[in-house]
Structure 1
Amino acid sequence: MNEGTDKMHFRKRLIAVAALFAMVAAVIYGSTLEITGEQEDSGPRSWFDRKDTIYFWYSDESMENFINSAAVSFGEREGIHVIPRLISDSEYLEALNRASVEGEEVPDAYIIGHDSLEKAYLAGLAEEITDVPGVCSERNFPAAALSAVSYHDKKVAYPLSFETSALLYNKAYLEEWASQAAREELVGSDSDEGEEPRDPSVDVVIDETVLAAKIEEYRQKAIPKTVDDILSIADSFELPEGVEGVMKWDVADIFYNYWIVGNYMIVGGDAGDDLNRIDINNPESISCLEVYKALNQFFYIEPDTVTYESVIQDFIEGKTVFTIATSDVVERLEQAKQEGTLNFEYGVAMMPDVSDKLQSRSMSVTNTVAVNGYSTHRELANKFAAYLVDECAGSLYEKTGKVSANLRAEADNEALQAFKMEYAESVPLPKMMETGNYWLLLERLFAKVWSGDDVTALTQELKLLLSFQTE
């Protein structure tokens, strides 16, 4: 996947190129003197001749402020010029390849989705990074980020930002559930066995200290650890007025479903680059999909009636207790707070396990910075790439709304830290070209499972399709 799909929810990674925008173009060409005759030997040198220049490509317009700021500060520190190019083309790598082979202004480094790194590396458009400062290490990045930028045991890019899914919940509703559950346990809906049923019209006096302790006990259980915990809350919660259901999510988008099978459907291993490590049709994957299939009988979500946008809006309006969201939701919820349309506190938690015995694992995509193998300034390009993902990491979210993969960034933002915890345990989307349609195949499988089709037959079919593609 390529950069900038957050807003499209990862169904398509469309990358644009038709126009090149040169930062400070007017300054460059306005200050370049025409050199002829004697001036060629003794006259003033052009703006470009005075300093080394590296070109940096990216395709997401929301990155413009961040990239331009970093280019200026790095250029001033290193005594060079960094020229960003906002590229808009549906064939990003193809455009980059043409510019590398034919153009005079070769892109020295560029942003690219981690799942395109194999294609870039084999085309000579990416190479093993030098990383002289040692930025790309476990000291700065979680395992998922390092796996995303790895190809056959080589780090071929620097991790910049990421996206993954996590559990979003309404704190006020869970507080109400904890109170209800505590009172129910202490009072009971009926008397003990053999006694007359309790008259609901008669108030029961509960010791406030005991009640407070019991509410706290249930409060600690409110964040679900397994799918069964969510179902237990759904089964026992007397929903407040206006709440339409306990949980709703975009069941049509694989990005919000993958956590169900992510720990057991293996495609390429953690780095997503090994054709010998493909394991689709195994007992654990089938068991997880059976759980997913049963959820439709509990939540009754029609895929054609929901979108990511609609489920987030329902959550903001207080119509649901839980949903599954990507990190872009944090900015949206904070904006809703400022506008007065969100009047409760929310929280973000890691996705629950499928069961006590079956673990969950979300999918992730990582935007990376690669150094072009055609560059004649690879040392400078590596330094700038390392600078972007390390020293500039603290300003990435503020300037772009994208969450840095760097462990030190957003340390004070509780909601974003929850997404970073999920990302740390996630499995990156495979980068093998032979499995480029894995995403779509799996989305189709989930849609059929949700509709009630046979799980075993579907996993066997997917296994055969991938086997055919990777032979």
Structure 2
Amino acid sequence: MKIKKIVLPVISAVVIIAGVMLAFSHKSESQEEAVLSTDHKALEIWYTDEAFTDYLGSAAVDYQEKYGIRVRPVLKSGKEFLETILDSSLSEEEYPDLFLTTNDTLEQTTLSGLTTEILDEKGVVNLTTFPETAVNAVSYKGKVVAYPLSYNTSIMLYNRTYLEQAAAAILQAEKDAAEGEAAQQEVEEMEGELTPEPAVEGVTVTEEQVAAAEATEESQESPFTEEEIQAKAESLIPSSLTALAAFSDEYDAPEQVENVFYWDVADILYNYDFVGGYMNVGGECGDNEAEISLYNPDTVACMQAFQELNQQFSIDADTVKYDSVLEDFMLGKSIFTVVGVDAIGQIEKEKEEGVFPYEYGVCLLPDVTEDLHSRSLSITTAVCVNGFSQKLSEANAFAAFLTTEHADDLYTKVGQMPCKDQAVLPIDSLQVCRTEYQTSISMPKMMATTNLWMRLEIGVNQIWKGADVDATLKEIEDATKAQLTIDNSN
């Protein structure tokens, strides 16, 4: 999934201050009205991603049946979505009690008064229910300002059928080598001690004996157990990208395989893991302007290793597309690839329809090298309670319901992973996605870093094509820090 840059104009200091002041005064009045009012008008939740339509619709029905409160989901345009909510809230026109947004916008929503510290009357947002990554994603300046709902991150897929074929071939080669060594040793030990026996003439081999020999030979075609083959195949899954490159050198690929490793080198979501272990943009919560480190010895070393992979895999960054990457994997043209979590559901659907004839596996993203670790990027979708809502308690209760009681349907209906750790997963391999998310870093929230991802994506593309790593990373860091300085001076 391509990271979509949300074009949100930086709200001026005057507008933010006015919005916050109005938010507090309006909220104080609305809280009193909410307590005294007996109005049971439906809660309204706005969202921009059509993929959530079925999920929110079923949640609304379930919630009314359980708690007697109506909820009305409303699909809105993504263009100036947050500005529309703020404008309608300040003018007291029709506005939502809740809305969905990604975690990288939570600084803007908090500074404008659209989000404040959640009530969380049931105490659901904790490290028992959600991983630390999810809690960090919805935290701003030490306060939890939204409820973590779902996420997308990148994981590695591999063609299990191909790996098991390679594993069987390796086991056979090892067996043949061992038998050859044993036979050679036996010959050497017996050499000179044996007296040649006279040839036996007139021995007749019957058809029954030939058939028996052929049957024995056929039964010995696969002398290895399924467990042995699977264990060897798993040992072939690379722990680092340098190990993957070494595997590519030695692997005798089937005719239909065009690339051992094929991924979208142009999309930062599927390449951030190369530098994610050593790049710091705002700390773990992505909200600390003092923590900015994009250009350092480790990120340089990681990007140099990334650049060297171009010599091995020769992927054209100008023409590669995520959809074609996934399609090639499903056609058996590649063995390893990097995808978003929704790809697993797509492959399972293809398997059910008989279109995908292979077995596949899911694994964590490999490290860059044995010494340089990787760390993936994740994007968390949050349920936000509108700070201007007159039904704060009811809205918080529904947000808690969405993210906990109704979380099991998220992957089936939306194609995103539920943030809730205990949520039921419809596919066993999705557990790998959960593990990957737990160690990932969330998109930062600072408005001053909005353009960072465009700069980083452009920079990574330039590095892939051969640009100087030092100069490129330094330029990105300098531009980011300069933007922070400008924003702080306004």
Are 2:11 and 1:51 equivalent residues in the alignment?
A: no
Aligned to 2:252: 238
CA distance in 2, matches of 1:279, 1:139: 31
- Choose from 443, 450, 453 the match for 1:429: 443
SS in 2 for 1:235: helix
Q: 1:368 to 1:470 in 2, by over 3 A?
A: same
Q: Is the 8 A contact 2:411 2:426 kept in 1?
A: no
* Structure 1 position 461 matched with structure 2 position 475: yes
Query: d(CA) in 2 for partners of 1:185 and 1:460?
Result: 49
Structure 2: distance between partners of 1:370 and 1:223: 40
**Aligned equivalent of 1:344:** 358
Q: Give the 3 Å change call, closer, same or farther, for CA 187–454 of structure 1 in structure 2.
A: farther
Equivalent residue runs for 1:68-217 within 5 Å: 68-187=57-176, 215=229
**What is the alpha-carbon distance in structure 1 between the residues aligned to residue 39 and residue 300 of structure 2?**
63
Give, in whole Å, the separation in 2 of the partners of 1:208 and 1:84: 57
Q: Any conservation in 2 of the 1:410–1:417 contact (CA below 8 Å)?
A: no
Cα displacement (A) at 1:109: 1.0
Contact between 2:300 and 2:473, CA under 8 Å: does it hold in 1?
yes
> Percent same amino acid at aligned positions?
39
Q: Give CA-to-partner distance per residue, 1:295-321, whole Å, 9 cap, x none.
A: 000001111232001111111110110
Q: 1:102 to 1:175 in 2, by over 3 A?
A: same
Question: Matched residue of 1:107: which SS?
Answer: coil
Partner of 1:280: 294
The answer as to 2:420 corresponding to 1:406 is yes
1:303 aligns with 2:317: yes
User: Following the alignment from structure 1 to structure 2, what is the Cα–Cα distance between the partners of residues 212 and 79?
Assistant: 54
Q: 1:395 & 1:427 partners in 2: Cα distance?
A: 25
Q: Superposed, which structure 2 residues align to 1:27-38 within 5 Å?
A: none
Q: CA deviation at 1:10?
A: 1.6
Comparing 413-422 with 427-436, which one deviates more in the overlay? 413-422
Partner amino acid for 2:235?
A: K
Match of 1:375 in 2: 389
Q: CA 1:395–1:210 in structure 2 vs 1: closer, same or farther (change >3 Å)?
A: closer
Equivalents in 2 of 1:212, 1:105: separation in Å? 62
Cα deviation 1:335-365 (Å, max 9, x = unaligned) = 2113322001111111001112111100000
Letter in 1 for 2:158: Y
Greater Rg by CA: 2
Task: Report SS of the residue matched to 1:414.
Answer: coil
**Residue identity opposite 2:303 in structure 1:** L
1:228 aligns with 2:242: yes
Q: Distance in 1 between matches of 2:254 and 2:42?
A: 62
The 10-residue stretch of structure 1 (214-223 or 405-414) with the greater mean CA deviation from structure 2: 214-223
Letter in 1 for 2:72: I
Could you give the per-residue CA deviations for residues 213-253 of structure 1, whole angstroms, max 9, x where no partner exists?
A: 97565323122211122112211111112111201001111
- Residue 268 of structure 1 corresponds to which residue in structure 2? 282
Q: How many residues end up aligned between the 2 structures?
A: 420
- Structure 1 match to 2:3: 10
Equivalent-residue separation in structure 2 for 1:212 and 1:312 (angstroms): 28
Q: Is the 8 A contact 1:182 1:211 kept in 2?
A: no
Cα offset, 1:54, TM superposition:
2.1
Choose between structure 1 and 2: higher helix proportion: 2
Match of 2:433 among 392, 400, 419: 419
Output the CA distance in 1 between the equivalents of 2:390 and 2:74: 17
Q: Give the secondary structure class of the aligned counterpart of 1:321.
A: strand
Structure 1, residues 429-452: CA drift from partner, whole Å, max 9, x if none? 111001011111110111111011
Q: Which amino acid aligns with 2:362?
A: V
Aligned-CA RMSD value: 2.4
Q: Are the equivalent residues in 2 in contact too, given 1:369–1:385 (CA < 8 A)? A: yes
SS of 1:357's equivalent? coil
Q: Of residues 323, 328, 346 in structure 2, which corresponds to 1:332?
A: 346
Q: Is the 8 A contact 2:240 2:369 kept in 1?
A: yes
Describe the SS at the equivalent of 2:355.
coil
Q: Aligned equivalents of 1:55 and 1:226: distance in 2?
A: 47
What amino acid maps onto 1:10 in structure 2?
A: I
- TM-score, normalised by the number of residues in structure 2: 0.81
1:242-280 per-position Cα deviation (integer Å, ceiling 9, x unaligned): 111201001111111111100101000111100001111
CA distance in 2, matches of 1:265, 1:257: 13
Structure with more relative contact order (C-alpha pairs < 8 Å, separation 6 or more): 2
In the superposition, the TM-score normalised over structure 1's length comes to 0.84
Q: Secondary structure at the match of 2:358?
A: coil
| 2:404 corresponds to 1:390 | yes
2:311 aligned partner, one-letter code: Q
Measure, in 2, the Cα distance between the counterparts of 1:185 and 1:275: 56
